[in-house]
A and B are shown apart, each in its own frame.
Chain A
Amino acid sequence: MTFKIGVVTFPGTLDDRDAQRAVRLAGGEAVPLWHADENLHKVDAVILPGGFSYGDYLRCGAIAAQAPVMDSIIKAANGGLPVLGICNGFQVLVESHLLPGGLIRNEKQHFICRDQTLVVENVNTPWTNQFTLNEEIVIPLKNGEGGYIATDETLKRLEGEGLIAFRYKDVNPNGSMHDIAGLRNERGNVVGLMPHPEHAVEAGFGPDMPGTMRSGVDGLKFFTSVLNSLVNA
């Protein structure tokens, strides 16, 4: 059967069509979800894509976290529905308290777009099960407010309980504490990260790889992972 993966569009969302394409390329069915509609249309998983929801006014992701669709997503996530937050989606997850900590302006105060190497540090989630532990992957990163911060206590817990899903390798592009690029929740169903896996799913349009222009497709495994987890559920 084909699994349905919901992709939420808030006003100001930019990467929704890219996330839908990634789902299709992985073999799933992408279902658009609208911010003002509480109905999740029986999807099997949800992606909160990147962009500038509500213009990033107030604080990135803060207004989106209050949208009607988020009420349903928070409930469903607490019940085990796989949820992936990418960039602005990660910020929304943090603002919704589905993941701990906060995201602040990049250390160097500029928006940055680069092909970023990450280490996958946790493969026990529906979004990472196709990776091998400590696998190095390259996917694009593009954000202005991607500096991850948390209290010492939270950082200690994240490290101790193995909740750091991705860490920046070689370059920490935004001053994130502990080089944190992405997190999972305790249950593992909710994953958020700043870099963009949906921009590394199709050869010719992905990041540069050593010696081959725009050929990176490491991001595709996020989407095949969730389909795989649904098959085995």
Chain B
Amino acid sequence: MALFKKKKPEFVPSGVDTTANAAVTPDKELPYAQLGLKDDEYARIQEILGRRPTASELAMYSVMWSEHCSYKSSKIYLRQFGEKVTDEMKKDLMVGMGENAGVVDIGEGWAVTFKVESHNHPSYIEPFQGAATGVGGIVRDILTMGARPIAVMDQLRFGAPENPDTARVVHGVVDGISFYGNCLGLPNIGGETVFDKVYQGNPLVNALSVGALRHEDLKLAKASNPGDLVILFGARTGADGIGGVSVLASETFDSTGPSRRPAVQVGDPFAEKVLIECCLELYHAQVVAGIQDLGGAGISCATSELASNGGAGMRVQLQHVLKRDESLTPEEILMSESQERMMGIVPKKHLKAFEAIVNKWEVEYSVIGEVINEDRLYINWGEEEIVNVPPRTVAHDGPVYERPVAYPAYQDALNANTVHVAANGNGLHRHNDNGSELAAQLVQIVSSPNQADKGWITDQYDRYVGGNTALAQPDDSGMIRVDEKSGLGIALATDANGRYCYLDPYQGAKLALAEAYRNVAVGGARPMAVTNCLNFGSPENPEVMWQFKQATAGLADGCLELGIPVTGGNVSFYNQTGDVAIHPTPVVGVLGVIDDVARRIPSAWQDEGNNIYLLGVTKDELDGSVWSEVIHGHLGGRPPVVDLAFEKQLAEAIAAASEQGLIASAHDLSEAGLAQAVVECSLRFGMGARIWLGEICERDNVDRTAALFS
């Protein structure tokens, strides 16, 4: 077809490396090491191709085989999320791990897709655009599944508030999320904000999105029918985001080649909002056979994954890509992470209908190739062939590593240093018999940066748009109505406690799961699925790999115990500056379903005269607690023991009580314990309470400090 008969390229950058050229110049040295590939990885690429790769092929492999895209260090551990499951757990799972986002059946013909992803490194370099495009990227993942995105949440971790750089990052990140999320028209229904000096040089910016779809609207990222057209639509491809995965930033790539380009993408939420509506209309008209968003690794990722997933091949004419800058080289076009772009697989007979819809939304598009019945991805630049590879080798058959694992040298001493032995063996001082000191500690704790009201952040986000928000911050979970007639809805909560995970990554991951699970249950929803964003230090550090191994095992075991599957997630390694890694921070998100959101349970006290009950047993578990941090600046010992069987019982009890209308409000106890919960419950509507600690102390055999802050 016309695509490949073009006589003369519009612009020929000097030194375009063709496959023919590669075959006859086997000894040409390529800067694979600068692109992050190891010697053996480069050797494997040569083995796959039977020759040296072209510059374009090298660019594709290097980016797709990067840690970020290939999960090469984490893969062997992530498998257990698919293995430690029962048939019962898989019952409602429509799409599991490996796709853009997991999909679960929530009943009444509805399905929900959700995922959390990291945008940590870009957000440190350029907080505003880094955070903004983090929201944009995760929303496109949700859209790609065929769903209408219905809400977002953010999990943020920053350095110490008193460090001058923290303000740069915090305000940039919050403004970026506010700018992008508000303009997309997605309610922001919750999240987390934590300050700790361990995140000073490595702030964590995770973004979660959730979408709803009818079962029959499910879309998958695959190109399987030969003859179907490959269409790139949305924003034009520019030079932004190149080097996001360290590719092409090197001058040595070619002396006349690309200069250094900005590594952080720039977002345009207006373009994304239009793209969302445009895609939903395309889905409704059933004119796309497959769809993939363009994020990390850009066209390299979209073409190879679509072809590999569909078990077919693809022929692409790279000169047909619409560009913002005509001087872009083929390698740059392949690598660009320009935002707000999608790749659709469109049967020829639907091209007219496709064009009518994208034209209505004034979205630009170009046909860049077609699906072929051959296990090959061919990419041409004009008449020159610059890529000729088996798509699966790029997208899915990347390297897998079993990195060295070592029990941390500091671990035993850390665990031994409990609140009972700290302070030279005396234990951290408790003011059990001094009411006014206890009251002062309570005020100090609830007004500390991590415990204080986060309204100064969340009031910059739109929580109303859509008109379906049933719960949002400061409630324990966010809740969104999915079906306006029946009231069917979903609840979402996320949690991670880096301090607990540092003390014990296995228990810490379970604790995060338990808390997110409880937050969903306490709002009246039934927890049913899990997503995660695993933020860790360098995988090349064996002690970090031990943390990762422990945390993934804890999460997988916890999910099995609670009977809810992991549907997908994301790994972010290399969150470390020099030798200093962040605390292991596995963010766990739990999705719940509620048959009618009208039944939801508020978290704060509204009516005078009600009785307050504390469910569960209070134990003296202050290691790693907010009390130990804020009052004593201490971190040591072992985190609280998590009892998931009891957690499950508690959730069932709340669900049953809610169905019978027995509960006026409910709030979970977590960080800073009973004290924090009571303060939050009473502040929202100015409803006070009288609490007798004596009964708790006596029944559970704990002192007042533990009763208040454990």
Residues of A within 8 A of B (CB): 11-12, 14-15, 17-18, 21, 51-52, 54-57, 110-114, 140, 142, 144, 196, 198-199, 201-202, 204-205, 208, 210-214
Q: Is the CB of B481 within 8 A of A205?
A: yes
Q: Is the CB of A55 within 8 A of B459?
A: no
Least CB distance from B242 to A in Å reads 24
Q: Is the CB of A205 within 8 A of B465?
A: no
User: Which residues of the other chain, B, contact A54 by a CB distance below 8 angstroms?
Assistant: 270
CA distance A51 to B179 in the complex (A): 12
* Nearest B residue to A207, CB-CB: B464
List 28 contacting pairs A-B, 8 Å CB cutoff, sorted by A: A11-B273, A11-B274, A15-B185, A15-B465, A18-B465, A21-B484, A52-B182, A52-B269, A52-B273, A110-B178, A110-B460, A111-B460, A111-B462, A113-B462, A114-B459, A142-B462, A144-B178, A144-B182, A199-B464, A199-B467, A202-B467, A205-B470, A205-B481, A208-B684, A211-B606, A211-B687, A212-B606, A214-B470
User: Which residues of the other chain, B, contact A17 by a CB distance below 8 angstroms?
Assistant: 466-467
User: Which residues of the other chain, B, contact A212 by a CB distance below 8 angstroms?
Assistant: 606
Q: Is the CB of A14 within 8 A of B185?
A: yes
Q: Is the CB of B459 within 8 A of A113?
A: yes
CA distance A11 to B277 in the complex (A): 9
Asked whether B362 is an interface residue with its Cβ less than 8 Å from the other chain, the reply is yes
Least CB distance from A24 to B in Å reads 10
Least CB distance from B185 to A in Å reads 3
* Nearest A residue to B178, CB-CB: A111
Asked whether B354 is an interface residue with its Cβ less than 8 Å from the other chain, the reply is no
Excluding A21-B467, A110-B178, A114-B459, 17 further A-B contacts by CB distance (< 8 Å) are A11-B273, A11-B361, A11-B362, A12-B270, A14-B185, A15-B185, A52-B273, A113-B460, A113-B462, A113-B464, A142-B465, A199-B464, A199-B465, A202-B467, A204-B598, A205-B470, A211-B607
B674-692 residues with Cβ-Cβ distance < 8 A to A are 684-685, 687
User: Which residues of the other chain, A, contact B463 by a CB distance below 8 angstroms?
Assistant: 113
Least CB distance from A178 to B in Å reads 24
Contact of A55 among B178, B270, B598, B685 (CB under 8 A): B270
* Nearest A residue to B602, CB-CB: A213
B559-602 residues with Cβ-Cβ distance < 8 A to A are 597-598, 602
Asked whether B268 is an interface residue with its Cβ less than 8 Å from the other chain, the reply is yes
Q: A111-B178, A211-B606 are in contact. Are A51 and B460 (CB under 8 A)?
A: no
Q: Is the CB of B185 within 8 A of A51?
A: yes
B156-205 residues with Cβ-Cβ distance < 8 A to A are 175, 178-179, 182-185
7 shortest A-B CB distances, which residue pairs?
Answer: A55-B270, A14-B185, A199-B464, A18-B467, A213-B602, A52-B183, A142-B462
Asked whether B708 is an interface residue with its Cβ less than 8 Å from the other chain, the reply is no
Residues of B within 8 A of A (CB): 175, 178-179, 182-185, 268-271, 273-274, 361-362, 458-470, 481, 484, 597-598, 602, 604, 606-607, 684-685, 687
Q: Is the CB of A112 within 8 A of B362?
A: no
CA distance A144 to B182 in the complex (A): 10
Q: A111-B460, A142-B182 are in contact. Are A198 and B467 (CB under 8 A)?
A: yes
Q: Is the CB of A205 within 8 A of B468?
A: yes
* Nearest A residue to B179, CB-CB: A111
User: Which residues of the other chain, A, contact B271 by a CB distance below 8 angstroms?
Assistant: 55
Residue in A114, A140, A199, A201 with the greatest tally of chain B CB atoms within 10 Å: A199
Q: Is the CB of B270 within 8 A of A11?
A: yes
Least CB distance from B486 to A in Å reads 14
CA distance A57 to B463 in the complex (A): 23
Residue in B361, B458, B462, B467 with the greatest tally of chain A CB atoms within 10 Å: B467
CA distance A121 to B183 in the complex (A): 31
Q: A55-B183, A199-B467 are in contact. Are A113 and B270 (CB under 8 A)?
A: no
User: Which residues of the other chain, B, contact A140 by a CB distance below 8 angstroms?
Assistant: 464
Q: A52-B183, A111-B178 are in contact. Are A211 and B464 (CB under 8 A)?
A: no
CA distance A21 to B466 in the complex (A): 10
Q: Is the CB of B270 within 8 A of A57?
A: yes
CA distance A2 to B469 in the complex (A): 29
User: Which residues of the other chain, B, contact A144 by a CB distance below 8 angstroms?
Assistant: 178, 182
Least CB distance from A107 to B in Å reads 14
Q: Is the CB of A142 within 8 A of B270?
A: no
User: Which residues of the other chain, A, contact B361 by a CB distance below 8 angstroms?
Assistant: 11
CA distance A151 to B25 in the complex (A): 74
Least CB distance from B688 to A in Å reads 13
* Nearest A residue to B465, CB-CB: A14
* Nearest A residue to B171, CB-CB: A110
Least CB distance from B181 to A in Å reads 10
Least CB distance from B83 to A in Å reads 41
CA distance A113 to B606 in the complex (A): 22
User: Which residues of the other chain, B, contact A56 by a CB distance below 8 angstroms?
Assistant: 183, 270
Q: Is the CB of B464 within 8 A of A142?
A: yes
User: Which residues of the other chain, A, contact B484 by a CB distance below 8 angstroms?
Assistant: 21
CA distance A51 to B185 in the complex (A): 7
CA distance A210 to B597 in the complex (A): 21
User: Which residues of the other chain, A, contact B597 by a CB distance below 8 angstroms?
Assistant: 204
User: Which residues of the other chain, B, contact A198 by a CB distance below 8 angstroms?
Assistant: 467
CA distance A15 to B183 in the complex (A): 11
Residue in B183, B269, B271 with the greatest tally of chain A CB atoms within 10 Å: B183
CA distance A110 to B176 in the complex (A): 11
User: Which residues of the other chain, B, contact A57 by a CB distance below 8 angstroms?
Assistant: 270
Q: Is the CB of B273 within 8 A of A213?
A: no
User: Which residues of the other chain, B, contact A112 by a CB distance below 8 angstroms?
Assistant: 459-460
CA distance A225 to B497 in the complex (A): 51
Q: Is the CB of B604 within 8 A of A18?
A: no
Q: A15-B465, A113-B459 are in contact. Are A55 and B606 (CB under 8 A)?
A: no
CA distance A213 to B476 in the complex (A): 14
* Nearest A residue to B685, CB-CB: A211
Least CB distance from B132 to A in Å reads 13
CA distance A54 to B607 in the complex (A): 45
Residue in B459, B464, B607, B687 with the greatest tally of chain A CB atoms within 10 Å: B464
CA distance A198 to B467 in the complex (A): 8
Least CB distance from B136 to A in Å reads 13
* Nearest B residue to A115, CB-CB: B464
Q: Is the CB of B460 within 8 A of A55?
A: no
Contact of A196 among B273, B464, B687 (CB under 8 A): B464
User: Which residues of the other chain, B, contact A199 by a CB distance below 8 angstroms?
Assistant: 464-465, 467
Least CB distance from B159 to A in Å reads 21
Least CB distance from B173 to A in Å reads 13
Least CB distance from B690 to A in Å reads 18
CA distance A214 to B597 in the complex (A): 12
CA distance A54 to B183 in the complex (A): 10
Q: Is the CB of A12 within 8 A of B685?
A: no
Q: Is the CB of A111 within 8 A of B466?
A: no
CA distance A21 to B467 in the complex (A): 9
User: Which residues of the other chain, B, contact A205 by a CB distance below 8 angstroms?
Assistant: 467-470, 481
